[in-house]
Structure 1
Amino acid sequence: MNGLKGWFAVLAGLALISCAKGPSEGGASDPATDAAANRWIYSQMIRQYLYNDYTKTITPDYNQSCENFFTGLLSSRPTDNDGKHTGTDNYFYSSMERSGTSKTAVSGKVATYGIEYKCYYTDYSRTYVAARVQFVVKGSPADRAGIRRGDWICLVDGKPIGSNNTSVLRRGGAVTLWVERMEKTMQGGFEIYQTVYEKSVSMDAAETLDVSPVLTDTLIVRGSRRIGYLVYNEFLSEPAGASDGRYDEQLKAVFTDFKRQHINELVLDLRYNGGGYVNTCRLLCSMIAPQSALGQVFCIERFNDDLHALYGETVLRFLPEGEVGGCNLNLARLYVLTGPWTASSSELVINNLRPYMPVKVVGTTTEGKNVGSSEIRSNVYGIVLRPITGRAFNRDYESDYADGFDPDYPADDDDNQDQMLELGDPDEFVLQYALADIAGSPVAATSKADDLLRGPYTPAGEPQPEGRIRGMIFTAPGGTDGPFD
């Protein structure tokens, strides 16, 4: 098989598998039932939606599908931040789903092959032709099959991935993958990527795995600097349906080990973390922050004007020393690795620690999601709403990052695909920039083939597979633990 050799030099960019685009028409729809459900949806939205001043201007037409009705209540005004609405991006953060159609989480107990990936297309095909592996879950079918970070998956059971078939990389039966690996070479004075490995790989059927948000952690030593490195992929305290806080305990165990190893620097890799629960984010930040920050203001949540008049704003504080189990590292600064999937609670780490310590961003610009949602469920209608209900501020009432956080040290491994080493390898392309700054030795200039890359591109009408942005999940006004009632 000639593989990617013929087309790779005209690679036209990656389609970011990032934001859910809001409701789809995938659920069952009954006109009479939907009309009654729409009345319930409207009552919840005008009360709880952050931008309910817009919703109140809508004359509701209850005689349509719940999906279309819900979408019609959402604001895409430039002054609001329910999703991104530009010439290239058009999606909402607010979402709804019918019972039985929920998204699969990145972490937790999920049926999965254990692959996280990005999809690519060629400028002449305008359809996905390959997926590049971002990481592989240990012990998963993909791990056992020998798939590794940086691999290109070109065919699944002999068929191309296509525009609407990317889910075949997440779960299903036993499959055969065509896998290739690349390296950069010079031809005719131009840099191109060439195939150096190509193989047909058999992979077992997807398995239900308990996938921890703690993907990997390690210690890296640079002179007197003892650097902890942690890849953390979702702010989730436990799998759905559990109540044991096992993922929080795993996170605490990592920091206990970091403290035992006397780390004095931390690189937190949030490139694949699309958000999650604010309380889990508070736990993580309480173990990172200077000890003097414990018990101080961590996050201020503000809701719409109506709810603000009733409840005021919700103030969350860093946990006290006793509640973080002695795991606080009392760090002087933090390095955060970012990418286009870095969003919501991941951005909260950057924004809400900055009043207390320098936070240096390494990678690419983040999503820019300074708002969060609450879950509103109707068992009567079999509908779950997750509208944007609040905006997050730090101690100094700063929340001006709707366009994302730009990196202090730009580093994009999409421009340097031959250097996509395993996460935690000190020579991994993005990590090396953080390590170099810590050690006071700049990274040598790296040649890149950015003229070969364009994008992003998402085929018209395609839902973003599985919605990488998990959202910032707030507690209800007044500080209760459940969703708004």
Structure 2
Amino acid sequence: MYRELFTTGAKAMLAGVFCAGVLMSCHKDHNPAPDPGTGPVITDAMKEDSLRYLMYQIMQVTYGDGGRNASTGLPTYYWNKSVPVLNPFDKQFANADSLLEQMKRYAINPTTGRPFDRYSFLDRDGTLTNKLMNGVSSQAYIAATGSLGLDYAPVLVPNTNKVRLFVLYADKNSPAGQAGVTRGWEITSVNGTTDFNATSASLDFVYNAILKSSSVTLTFKVPNVNDPVTRTINTAGYNINPVLFDTIYTVISNHGPVKVGYFGLYTFASVFNEKGQPTATKIALDQTLGKFASQGIRNLVVDLRYNGGGATTTAEYLDSAIAPASAAGKVMYKYKYNEALTQNLNAAGLASQVNFPANTGGFTLDNVFFIVSRGTASASELTLNNLKPYMNVRLVGDTTYGKPVGFIDFNISMYDNTHQPKYLADLYAINFETMNAKGEGGYFTGIGEDFGAFAHDFVNVPWGDTTDQNIKQVLNYVRTGAYLSIPRNARLAAVPTSGGSLQIPIQNSHPAPNFNGMVDFRMRQKIR
């Protein structure tokens, strides 16, 4: 099919300058240096042409394995039949990203009238794989995105244009976490600037300084501390610890005292790296869940309000730890692929479903509560959806993001005239949809909270504080069997506390550079 898509000149350029292929190899921590030698010099324009061509081939025509075997002739894009035949070398596509954006427009969700695909993207420095697959936030990744290991939220001061800034979370192992920064701290100065407002210029200044810089000096107002705290935070590599906070509450219910375990999880980095070694994520999860098990908790709270997902294997690991013994060996979730892949699962090396292990974690829980929000996406949604057929799953907070589909990571490289691979990008284009054991899925517009379980996210409330509306909802349900009646109107809900009014962030004030998705990294090794 693809032979009819391209001009003779384009094909000659591709054939004459380099051989191109898709590498299912392990992630590169850095891009290979240009190889000296004879022959034409590979320019940036040639690399971009190669990337456009290969991306289109993988999604719409066929995929290969770096030329080691004949290609199978199977497209991998989930909505491939909705996309018309396109010429990736067409001048309307300035680069591979613009071609991908065009391809995402064709499959329309009849419920919303908008494209299904608001998810697919290219990772051009290739280090997102390192972060999710190996649980490491490398220096290269930090330099590219400016992450210091924290996220923040701007809050509009009522009846003004003024903005206050609050830390949402900080990874304990990150530079910010090591500096003691945590949720509830108010940022009062950014590189000496103390006046913030809701204009684009002001919000951009804060965004670039905190999330796009290698170093920033911040002054904080810390709860219960009189004097301001100033920290200069520099980027550095670190092993990701996704557990932000954990605690155990004892609730006096109608049936006596009940222990409730609570922990916050902000990402789904893999529990095992590409070498099969346990990551800091696995260690942190094991420690937290082990603590809960030793204390005999009867209710578990998993706070996913800022969790955009990550590795499907981490969702499976968490589900296996939480699920009751009755789920052992049964279906955890099922995959759905495009028609071509579905008809050739064995040839493609793809699985049709994932089962719970023979032995689950051993908890005996009355309920598992998930605190969710518009920032709860993909692998987070997969986690809670998988458990619904087997236990009491209760959702508190707000409707989730809505992403029942996931990625196979395609590491795309080209071969130069000396047959050396030159890394181009990692392609994350939607390849599969998931459903739980009851066939429940398709939540493209999100999963709603339980009836009566709505709660605001007040960002100036520290982790675990029982004035947090989400936690109040959970504890009230454990105590009485019912949720509180909380109005959605923010002003009615924002009652004064000892620290002043509770603060709700400005919606869509600036998108944080967070990943929303789920990736099955096993498939990058199996697909052939």
TM class, shorter-chain normalised? 0.7 to 0.9
Structure 2 residue identity aligned to 1:237 = S
Give runs of aligned pairs for residues 288-437 of structure 1, distance below 5 A: 288-311=322-345, 314-321=352-359, 327-380=361-414, 382-408=424-450, 409-414=452-457, 416=458, 420-437=460-477
Could you say which residue in structure 2 is the equivalent of 1:41? 55
1:74 aligns with 2:107: no
For residue 466 of structure 1, the aligned residue among 510, 513, 521 is: 513
8 Å CA contact retained: 1:365, 1:405: yes
- Give yes or no for the alignment of 1:94 onto 2:112: no
CA distance in 1: counterparts of 2:177 and 2:156, whole angstroms: 25
| 1:138-177 alignment runs, 5 A limit | 138=172, 140-143=174-177, 147-159=181-193, 162-163=203-204, 166-170=207-211, 172=213, 174-177=215-218
Aligned residues: 426
Greater Cα shift, 207-216 or 218-227: 207-216
Range moving further from structure 2, 445-454 or 390-399: 445-454
Q: Give the superposition deviation at 1:147.
A: 3.8
Shift in alpha-carbon separation, 1:91–1:73, aligned structure 2, 3 A: closer
RMSD between aligned residues = 3.7
Is the 8 Å Cα contact of residues 35 and 62 (structure 1) preserved in structure 2? no
Matches within 5 A, 1:45-64: 45-46=59-60, 47-63=75-91, 64=94
Q: Distance in 1 between matches of 2:294 and 2:126?
A: 45
Measure, in 2, the Cα distance between the counterparts of 1:468 and 1:351. Answer: 20
Cα distance in 1 for partners of 2:236, 2:228 equals 23
- Map 1:95-134 to 2 at 5 A: 95-99=121-125, 102=128, 105=131, 108-110=136-138, 111=142, 113-120=148-155, 129-134=163-168
Pairwise CA distance, 1:335: 0.7
1:205 has 2:248 as partner: no
C-alpha distance in 2, partners of 1:439/1:124?
A: 38
Q: Is the 8 A contact 1:108 1:238 kept in 2?
A: no
Q: 1:358 to 1:276 in 2, by over 3 A?
A: same
Report how far residue 411 of structure 1 moved: 3.9
Matched-pair identity in %: 24
DSSP 3-state at the match of 1:257? helix
Task: For structure 2, list consecutive stretches of 5 or more residues without a partner in the other structure.
Answer: 1-41, 61-74, 197-201, 415-422, 495-503
Equivalence map 1:250-289=2 (5 Å):
250-289=284-323
- Paired with 1:270 and 1:442, the residues of 2 have a C-alpha distance of 19
TM-score (norm 1): 0.76
**CA apart distance, 1:375:** 0.8
Aligned to 2:507: 456
TM-fit CA distance, 1:402: 1.3
TM-score normalised over the length of structure 2: 0.70
Match of 2:258 in 1: 225
- Measure the CA separation in 2 of the matches of 1:250 and 1:365: 27
CA distance in 2 between partners of 1:73 and 1:198 (Å): 54
Tell me, yes or no, if the aligned pair for 1:341 and 1:468 is still in contact at 8 Å.
Answer: no
CA deviation after TM superposition for structure 1 residue 360, in Å: 0.8
Determine the C-alpha separation between the residues in 1 that align with 2:87 and 2:173.
53
SS in 1 for 2:475: helix
The one-letter code matched in structure 2 to 1:428 is: D
Higher Cα Rg: structure 1 or 2?
A: 2
Matched position secondary structure for 2:234: coil
SS, match of residue 237 in structure 1: coil
Deviations 1:160-211 (A, max 9, x none): 553265142247455332435799xxxxxxxxxxxx9784623232333323
> Going by fraction, where is strand more abundant, 1 or 2?
1
SS where residue 218 of structure 1 aligns? strand
Equivalent residue, structure 1, for 2:270: 237
Distance (Å, rounded) in 2 between the aligned partners of 1:202 and 1:454: 23
Match of 2:525 among 475, 482, 485: 482
Distance 1:315 1:240, change over 3 A: closer
Are the equivalent residues in 2 in contact too, given 1:136–1:142 (CA < 8 A)? yes
Deviations 1:365-406 (A, max 9, x none): 110110001111122151211101000001111113111111
Higher helix share: 2
Give the deviation of 1:484 after TM superposition. 3.8
After superposition, the C-alpha distances for 1:60-106 in whole angstroms (9 at most, x for unaligned) are 4444312212222223533289xx986xx998210113236759958
Q: Deviations over 1:196-247 (max 9, x none)?
A: 9784623232333323112222221113311111212222225866641232
- Cα separation, partners in 2 of 1:108 and 1:442, compared to 1, 3 Å: same
Note if contact 2:153-2:506 (Cα within 8 Å) is conserved in structure 1.
no
Counterpart residue identity of residue 440, structure 2: E
